[in-house]
Structure 1
């Protein structure tokens, strides 16, 4: 062979009866004639009965018995082989029909293979969705042999008298959609119809043997009312198969998954148009002119994690056709013979001019030559790959994709089963998914691998082991592991306390573990005392002594707790009597710097308490803080509050969603929280009932929380506050807006369906014309859904509404300081927000403080300060279930209801405020006056302090 030739080895089946071998034969026999290639083939299976003609004898002569060296090795075989070839570059031609790829493929495909070939764009898209870089994937469609498959091929005789014949060709397996086809066919046609479904089953003597629907098809044939089915299982040569296509009128292939769908293309080449899903591989070579599309959607199978022997990187997904639409299309085809013929002619023309094996081979050779000229990339070592993938997994988790992160950790464990980082993080993510048995396997694997790690890390591992045993009701094992965990890592104590609480609840339902009660209560007493929650510690200590009154260690613990309570009581009795200037020690835990509603409210509360004898230690929980949003004077005060207390805290106040509540770290605990629907998540209730008191902003939340199971005696209504000196319409300069319209509606919200942006925009677009002197200014953030695309969704809405010219909308999605936000309110003429539910509705309050006529929904938290006298309340059409489209629906909103604001009423209110501006301004003036009476910073500051003092008095006098 010439030294200048490109040496290519092609590994995979050749002379056997299945589709991969067919593709290999068609490509390799044509590649042999290219003088620039030195082709060797490496088959790994043979069929001694396979017919071999002169062309295939020439292919046999290219077999490389011992491999040898090559410039490029192409592998197209099943199962795939992931060992790198000894020399040269490496191409994998690998179809996959189930969406999510096998886990063991991920690292080789991503890092070690030089290029991946697939036969369809959809297959490429699926690989990319699984994390394979798209620039490594090349689409090389399959083809047909025009000398065999063409419209002039003679039809074969079929054993049927029916004049119209549907055809299915392929293995009759679930993936190919044969069950869907039979169901649609039986539902739409009867034995009286002049129609026959011809099924050519390729699965009987193939890798699908034993998996086909042969029995179901035969049972189908037995029912006399069913339309006719002709079932063929005998072997067909290529020319006989072409004759079969020619003898039928229309191919039907409602596949769930296909790497390419070669029978579809072969049928088209013979002039037989197909019925196919409007998604997936066939869309690369089928068009509306050449095929009949059936509306379809992707369907994920969450109960499945494996395909055959393969663990998948995610749940598999398939294409599912609309079954009613499939029936409709089949009926339409049956009744429109001329349309079928017309599409068939166009299909043949398309297939034979664009999708032949010569076209495929040309693409193959072009790619081989391009690969040969590319710089050789050193394959990364396993250790380097693992390090990169661990970083990638952490990035995925931090970006809000925990399930994808878990799959990466599992892929790493395929290569390094004892990897500490992957096991630890996989265990944590399984815990988050409530899969405690699998989590436990990972943590137990670690116990023999971390002796040289810091005690804090080892303690965390043992604490997670305790958590898993707790959830699995293995109480003795749980307590032993938790004991080890807290001994090694005191920071794991809060988690251990929650486990002990759960074990207590479990023991109440069984008699097997009553002997553990005394020890459990004692551990809880010590835990609470360590967290400085002495009152709760006292309750637990008394229960421990009740079960085991003679334990000296229990008595000693109880004595220590009583002594501490006496000291605290003595201190605060003097404060309450006015004989001591000792300030109340308060831990305040909340967001303060991230611009959220909780953060803005907490800043108002903290500033309001500055005039009272309270020493505050601030614990911010902002996630990603942006301190620039806070005025510098307030920022200085808040920064000073970060200093630890000079005394033991008497009160621990947390202002945040209740799922973020920590165990109280003071004798008196307050949880400030709110919710926007008619209930709260079930997991929140227990966290709230751990607090001494729950402060809600509105009577609406008081009622919804009690209904959800929160102890009514713990709930106290504490309204929100606003610094009305800042929100001063007389002194603030307006924000510069990029609009020439003189009337500006303003809306401020997180881009979420709960905020009713869809209701607002539909109402605005249908009520106002593009030529009216009006602009809707949207100040939006994307806190709940960081992937939200407001501009794109607005464009989609206008297209759906069919409005070519819409009134002006100005979107502001940049971060604004508090001062700039107040200026933005000043720049507006009215505020509007048709929210479906609010815990409080701070933007309404801010707008009203700036004397804006304010339009809001007549439901939920904002009705605490909005009325028909000081605002414009939108009637609701109904209280309806929360949309399943909400992010985190299952965890946060399932079973909840919210309001559906009336679009017609909203439109009339917006029109009224726009046209009756003087009257609307007077309502805005009343709005500010009403806030000054009840919600000023000084008034709410006094309410806050008085309530704190009342709680101390109640518990220590």
Structure 2
């Protein structure tokens, strides 16, 4: 009699888990499943300070004066504030004096009490500033009389964080070692910036390798060091935030919303974005372009700006232009809701220093479409977003007042056809979108958090202090 074949047993996943529940491999397997299936919105991200020896007595005795526009709402202001917050708790002798444009009360009102108390805690005492600072009250915001007899190097290091054209050499003389911090959005920099960098500071800090190459190729002889921007994001569950959104900022409920956040100037490439959007979509498509813009004329100009956008879209579709909404003057509290209400972020930029809105969009788990050129490529590429091919670089020759520093310098021209392709792709290719969004968020949360960037700054401060103590600092200014 022919032997009956043995029946193959099929075990369910639960059966296997029960059988091997006491083995080490079992728990390792469970941990793997948990990590792979956890939402990025609920990840517990812990950071350790590994870059600098935080017990180093050099940090405890290091005196630093940071001059920057940290009370302003500008890009420089946000960057300056975030960098200060990343190092303040490790530098007991850190002082900061506001340096820059006039501070408006509405800007200060937007800060939390925690931040305002932080500003106050860093203010130099009257004995710590020489008389020259009192004589420059138009650009330095101080609340006490200066020391008319103070002379010499009052601080180990002075950091000046602003556009080099505005640096004042005499203000830097309070530091034994001088560091400049700035940023630019082209692959070279204005000629008027080169002399202050070469003559006033010992080294220059910029946010990206793109800027390192740009400043060096333009004639900067001092060391140029890349220290990225950092952003302190709230510990939010993005999926829950998105589910709570009811208002769509004028877009329809079923619309796929492309969000663009930008200042109203030629560098942001609005005309290229509108050409791609108007050519690719029509009023028959369930799409909406949500334009969040900061114009210097304020909300009173919104009707005029709306008409400008509509007219630009009609160049590509006379009648059935796709839906768009223009929003301005959004508060800091409202901004997360704008990101959460959107489905993708798009910026047809012609050049960026760092592009904070791109990093914000990544945090809020939006697929990002942006021109593949300039400072944001430090963290943005094929594996973390949807980069748009550059058609060509061209020297800017426009007459817009705000764009004067860029005259004669390169700005990118993004490919309209590739921009159209990427906008369609993020709507349809959900698997690729999910993969790149997750990878991008993991990357910015681990590389550009305050602890990681703060460690980089502290490491450079220790290096500088050791050079000062050894007498190895070479001065040629």
**TM-score normalised to the size of structure 2?**
0.74
Do the aligned partners of 1:576 and 1:953 also contact (CA within 8 Å) in 2?
Answer: no
Name the CA distance, whole Å, in 2 between partners of 1:932 and 1:697: 17
Tell me which residue corresponds to 1:931: 444
Q: How many Å separate the matches in 2 of 1:747 and 1:699? A: 25
Q: Mean Cα displacement is larger for which, 837-846 or 656-665?
A: 656-665
Asked whether the 8 Å contact 1:851–1:928 carries over to 2, the reply is yes
Determine whether 1:710 maps to 2:223: no
Question: The residue matched to 1:722 in structure 2 has which SS?
Answer: coil
Contact 2:298 / 2:328 at 8 angstroms: preserved in 1? no
What's the CA shift for 1:920? 1.4
Tell me the distance in 1 between the aligned counterparts of 2:307 and 2:60: 57
CA offsets 1:98-156 (integer angstroms, 9 cap, x no match): xxxxxxxxxxxxxxxxxxxxxxxxxxxxxxxxxxxxxxxxxxxxxxxxxxxxxxxxxxx
1:728–1:878 CA distance, 2 compared to 1 (3 A): farther
Q: Distance in 1 between matches of 2:96 and 2:70?
A: 13
Does residue 303 of structure 2 align to residue 797 of structure 1?
no
Higher relative contact order (CA 8 A, sep 6+): 2
Matched residue, 1:692: 202
Q: SS in structure 2 opposite 1:650? A: strand
Task: Name the SS for the 2:285 alignment partner.
Answer: coil
Q: Give matches, 1:459-608, under 5 Å.
A: 578=56, 582-608=60-86
Distance in 2 of aligned mates of 1:878 and 1:765: 22
Please state if 1:659 is matched with 2:165.
yes
- Aligned residue for 2:66, secondary structure, equals strand
Question: What CA distance in whole angstroms lies between the structure 1 residues aligned with 2:412 and 2:352?
Answer: 10
TM-fit CA distance, 1:823 = 2.7
Alpha-carbon deviations, 1:265-315, whole Å to 9, x = none?
xxxxxxxxxxxxxxxxxxxxxxxxxxxxxxxxxxxxxxxxxxxxxxxxxxx
Distance 1:730 1:640, change over 3 A: farther
Aligned to 2:425: 912
Q: Which residue of 1 aligns with 2:252?
A: 740
- C-alpha distance in 1 between matches for 2:236 and 2:119: 20
Shift of 1:576: 11
Classify the secondary structure of the residue corresponding to 2:315. helix
| Deviation (angstroms), 1:577 | 10
Whether the 8 Å CA contact 1:658–1:687 is kept in 2: the answer is: yes
Query: CA offset at residue 581 of structure 1?
Result: 7.5
Of 616, 624, 630, 2:95 maps to 616
1:754 corresponds to: 267
In 2, Cα distance between equivalents of 1:584 and 1:805: 64
Change (3 A) 1:888 1:749: closer
CA contact (8 A) 1:585 1:645 kept: no
CA distances 1:392-435 after superposition (whole Å, capped 9, x unpaired): xxxxxxxxxxxxxxxxxxxxxxxxxxxxxxxxxxxxxxxxxxxx
How far did 1:624 drift? 4.1
Q: 1:639 to 1:734 in 2, by over 3 A?
A: farther
SS in 2 for 1:778: strand
CA shift for structure 1 position 809: 1.1
Say whether 1:769 aligns with 2:282.
yes
Q: How many aligned residue pairs are there? A: 380
Question: Does the 8 Å CA contact 2:282/2:322 hold for their aligned counterparts?
Answer: yes
The 5-angstrom pairing of residues 264-275 of structure 1 reads none
On the 8 A contact 1:735/1:823 being kept in 2, the answer is no
Which residue in 2 is equivalent to 1:638? 119
Measure, in 2, the Cα distance between the counterparts of 1:641 and 1:770: 54
SS at match of 2:63: strand
- Whether the 8 Å CA contact 1:727–1:850 is kept in 2: the answer is no
Whether the 8 Å contact between 1:741 and 1:775 is mirrored in structure 2 is no
| Structure whose alpha-carbon radius of gyration is higher | 1
Structure 2 CA distance for aligned equivalents of residues 678 and 837 of structure 1: 9
The answer for the alignment partner of 1:811 in structure 2 is: 326
Q: How does 1:117-266 map to 2 (within 5 A)?
A: none
Q: Is the 8 A contact 1:671 1:693 kept in 2?
A: yes
* Structure 1 residue runs without a partner (length 5+): 1-574
The 3 A distance-change label for structure 1 pair 764 and 650 is: same
Q: 2:385 aligns with which of 855, 858, 871?
A: 871
CA distance in 1, matches of 2:185, 2:400: 13
Asked whether the equivalents of residues 231 and 449 of structure 2 are also in contact (C-alpha less than 8 Å), the reply is yes
Is structure 2 residue 361 aligned with structure 1 residue 852?
no
Shift of 1:870: 0.8
The whole-number CA distance in structure 1 between the counterparts of 2:183 and 2:452 is: 21
Match of 1:780 among 274, 280, 293: 293
Q: Is the 8 A contact 1:592 1:622 kept in 2?
A: no
Higher helix fraction: Structure 1 or Structure 2? 1
Paired residues of 1:655 and 1:673 also in contact (CA < 8 A): yes
